[in-house]
């Protein structure tokens, strides 16, 4: 008979990884041994993706080669182009991405191979395509044409250009780039676990990423950043504290707070709070930032909970001009680098992931023919 399960697999070590590590007590996060505080704002998203997918922070030559691969990968397959308008008309952003990434797999030249080199190439292509898929979807649903990707621009700069239709200023690009770095990987979070379970059946990288996107979509995971903004938009700025207290008293969860692993402040939230404040002040209307600070204080006072990555990411994206329903897709733009690195790692040393379950149903039932039930 199986042991009692740990609900939600809390504290269960489900895989070995050299990609990222969390010290939940100290509130620290590392990518391949590098402290996130050393990377954010100093290392670009492209360098971070190379670190995760290829194993090292790149030299200038390696970065040039990887960057060229990303630029070349910024194209969408014929199947995506043929279907994006209908998908955009019928599906919400995360549903659409689930569909579009699946369609993109059909046109990937390495789709039938899980070999290490094929996986690495697919990882770069998926990382290059994801921001383009979000932008293309947004253009299709708004009936606009996105500016062509500019090969001279970084992933962050291109995305802001394609989503907002205008070139972002240098500081906005730096901030968004740091956001992408902060969201790139996070040990055995739910979507990464889903990707690894799929990959461990020796299924392909696109299938694993589709599983991850479906998992990220939920409000307890990546969907929280959108919910944070919806909460801020719904609150009366002068009644934040009371409204939050009332919600907590009613047993409601406040999105953007709490974490399975961090027992102190999420180190990513430390950066995002500062970015939110900077952008709020620069925008000339810091209402949402001030409301966020007040929410943070009340939730801590009442429940002892800290903000997680999604809390201040919401206002950062808002001030950057990103539509609220694209916040979770933005998360996927960054996390694609981590998911794909995990698939590479899983395939490199694979064993089927197949846990046990505790049976809690009826036993010794007596079968009866349909007419006697
Ligand atoms: N607001 C209010 N209460 C919260 C809370 C929140 N955001 N997060 C956790 N809690 C409370 C729970 O109600 C529970 O209280 P109880 O023991 O009195 O019942 C306790 O804290 C433990 O919560 P639980 O949901 O069991 O923790 P978990 O480890 O399973 O879940 C999260 C972790 C992240 C899913 C959870 O904190 C949450 O739902 N947060 C909001 C969604 C979110 O921001 N997700 C993004 C994560 S990066």
β-strand partners of 30: 21, 35
Reduced to 3 states, what is the DSSP secondary structure of residue 30? strand
What digits encode the pLDDT tens for the residues 177-220? 999 999 999 999 999 999 999 999 999 999 999 999 999 999 99
Q: Which residue has the higher pLDDT, 335 or 148?
A: 335
User: In sequence order, what E strands does 90-227 have?
Assistant: none
The rounded Cα 332 to chain-centroid distance in angstroms is 4
Catalytically annotated residue among 110, 177, 204, 310: 310
Q: Which atom of ligand 1 is nearest to the CA of 260?
A: 29
Catalytically annotated residue among 259, 271, 342, 347: 259
Cβ contacts of residue 364 below 8 Å, gap of 6+?
A: none
- pLDDT for residue 5: 84
What digits encode the pLDDT tens for the residues 122-144? 999 999 999 999 999 999 999 99
Centre of ligand 1 from the C-alpha of residue 259, in Å: 7
β-strand partners of 353: none
Contact 324, 228 (CB under 8 A): no
Contact 65, 201 (CB under 8 A): no
Residue nearest (by alpha carbon) to ligand 1 atom 47:
221
Residue nearest (by alpha carbon) to ligand 1 atom 32:
259
Residue nearest (by alpha carbon) to ligand 1 atom 27:
260
Annotated catalytic residue 259:
yes
Tell me what the mean pLDDT of segment 7-22 comes to. 94
- C-alpha–C-alpha distance, residues 253 and 68, integer Å: 44
Contact 310, 259 (CB under 8 A): no
Identify which of 6, 188, 258, 303 to mutate to test ligand 1's pocket (most ligand atoms within 8 A of the CB). Answer: 258
Whether the per-residue pLDDT at 1 is higher than 90: the answer is no
Centre of ligand 1 from the C-alpha of residue 199, in Å: 28
Centre of ligand 1 from the C-alpha of residue 257, in Å: 7
Annotated catalytic residue 310:
yes
Name residues contacting ligand 1 (CB within 6 A). Answer: 8, 220-221, 224, 248, 253-260, 303, 305, 308-310
Tell me what the mean pLDDT of segment 320-339 comes to. 98
Q: Which atom of ligand 1 is nearest to the CA of 228?
A: 44
The CA–CA distances, whole Å, from 211 to 79, 101, 137, 217, 362 equal 20, 10, 19, 10, 31
What digits encode the pLDDT tens for the residues 188-199? 999 999 999 999
Phi-psi region of 61 (alpha: psi -120 to 50; beta: other; left: phi over 0): alpha
Q: Which residue has the higher pLDDT, 109 or 146?
A: 109
Centre of ligand 1 from the C-alpha of residue 230, in Å: 18
Mean pLDDT, the chain, rounded, equals 96
- C-alpha–C-alpha distance, residues 76 and 101, integer Å: 10
Identify which of 253, 296, 332 to mutate to test ligand 1's pocket (most ligand atoms within 8 A of the CB). Answer: 253
Whether the per-residue pLDDT at 167 is higher than 60: the answer is yes
Site of tokens 């001279």: 152
- pLDDT for residue 149: 86
Tell me what the mean pLDDT of segment 308-335 comes to. 98
Residue nearest (by alpha carbon) to ligand 1 atom 13:
253
- pLDDT for residue 2: 58
Q: Global pTM?
A: 0.96
Centre of ligand 1 from the C-alpha of residue 248, in Å: 11
Centre of ligand 1 from the C-alpha of residue 253, in Å: 7
Cα Dmax for the chain: 76
Tell me what the mean pLDDT of segment 231-248 comes to. 97
- C-alpha–C-alpha distance, residues 256 and 166, integer Å: 29
- pLDDT for residue 47: 98
């Amino acid at each position: 008979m199986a042991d009692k399960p740990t609900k939600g697999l809390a504290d269960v070590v489900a895989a070995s990884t050299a990609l990222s590590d969390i010290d939940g007590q100290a509130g620290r996060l590392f990518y391949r041994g590098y402290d996130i505080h050393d990377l954010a704002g100093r290392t670009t998203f492209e360098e971070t993706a190379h670190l995760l997918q290829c194993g090292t922070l790149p030299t200038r030559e390696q970065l040039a080669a990887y960057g060229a691969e990303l630029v070349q990968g910024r194209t969408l397959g014929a199947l995506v182009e043929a279907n994006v308008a209908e998908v955009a008309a019928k599906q919400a952003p995360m549903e659409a991405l689930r569909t579009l990434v699946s369609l993109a797999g059909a046109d990937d030249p390495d789709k039938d191979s899980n070999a290490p080199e094929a996986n690495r190439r697919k990882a770069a292509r998926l990382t290059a395509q994801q921001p383009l898929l979000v932008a293309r979807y947004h253009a299709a649903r708004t009936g606009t044409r996105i500016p062509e990707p500019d090969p001279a621009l970084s992933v962050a700069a291109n995305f802001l250009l394609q989503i907002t239709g205008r070139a972002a200023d240098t500081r906005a690009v730096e901030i968004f780039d740091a956001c992408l770095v902060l969201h790139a990987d996070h040990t055995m979070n739910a979507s990464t676990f889903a990707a690894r379970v799929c990959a461990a059946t020796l299924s392909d990288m696109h299938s694993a990423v589709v599983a991850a996107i479906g998992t990220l979509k939920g409000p307890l995971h990546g969907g929280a950043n959108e919910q944070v903004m919806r909460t801020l938009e719904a609150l009366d700025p002068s009644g934040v504290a009371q409204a939050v207290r009332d919600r907590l008293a009613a047993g409601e969860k406040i999105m953007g707070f709490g974490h399975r692993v961090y027992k102190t402040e999420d180190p990513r939230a430390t950066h995002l709070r500062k970015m939110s404040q900077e952008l709020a002040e620069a925008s000339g209307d810091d209402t949402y930032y001030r409301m966020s600070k007040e929410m943070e204080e009340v939730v801590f006072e009442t429940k002892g909970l800290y903000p997680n990555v999604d809390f201040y990411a919401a206002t950062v994206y808002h001030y950057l001009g990103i539509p609220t329903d694209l916040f979770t897709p933005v998360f996927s733009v960054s996390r694609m680098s981590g998911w794909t690195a995990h698939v590479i790692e899983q395939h490199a040393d694979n064993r089927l992931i197949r846990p046990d379950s505790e049976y809690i149903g009826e036993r010794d039932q007596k079968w009866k023919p349909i007419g006697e039930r």
